Amino acid sequence: MEARCLERGLVVWLTGLPGSGKTTIAEGVAERLRSEGFKVEVLDGDWARATVSEGSGFTREERIRHLKRIAWIARLLARNGVVVLCSFVSPYRDARRMVREIVEEEVPFVEVYVKASLEEVMRRDPKGLYKKALKGEIKHFTGVSDPYEPPDSPDLVIDTERESVEESVDRLYRAVINLIKLRG
């Protein structure tokens, strides 16, 4: 398959509670875009904390510093024609605003709120983190001992309690493709 090179890529920032489905959706969209020849990177919290932000903590200041690093990496990739799908809890509105400002200096930024209630993500608890946080074994855990501030006006809301994974992936994929087409 011939690669479809974009002059400038874009950054899609998926935010939501841990376990809401951010990375699952990002990976699904990435797979579809790659199958069409687009250059795509998925950046997620687990990867970032094991590599570029190794040892980074979870206090407000540490999270903001961590997200700033990711914003610059995403911007660099996108300005080189990559569609960058970022999956980060990014719990604070001011931190997401900072990320948007960094990215939008050069490339489009799309904020996607992956919405799921605290009750639902605690039920899912794919990594057992909520259970540990409720026992006090994890400090500064979003939704338990640290706040999550939902976006005021995200570009797209994906409600993973009401939509299947396939529906969520399809909605985000269509939004990304439409943005690519608009930019021509």
pLDDT tens per residue across span 115-168: 999 999 989 988 888 888 888 888 888 888 889 999 999 999 999 999 999 999
Q: What are the catalytic residues? A: 90
The alpha-carbon radius of gyration of the chain (Å, integer) is 16
For the chain, the domains span 10-183
Secondary structure (DSSP) of 130-147: HHHHHTTSSSS-BTTTB-
d(CA 146, CA 91): 9
Topology (CATH) of 10-183 = Rossmann fold (3.40.50)
pLDDT tens per residue across span 42-67: 999 889 988 988 888 889 999 999 99
Determine the pLDDT at residue 181.
87
C-alpha distances in Å from residue 132, one per residue of 2, 30, 175, 183 = 47, 31, 36, 45
pLDDT band (50, 70, 90) for residue 31: very high
pLDDT tens per residue across span 91-104: 999 999 999 999 99
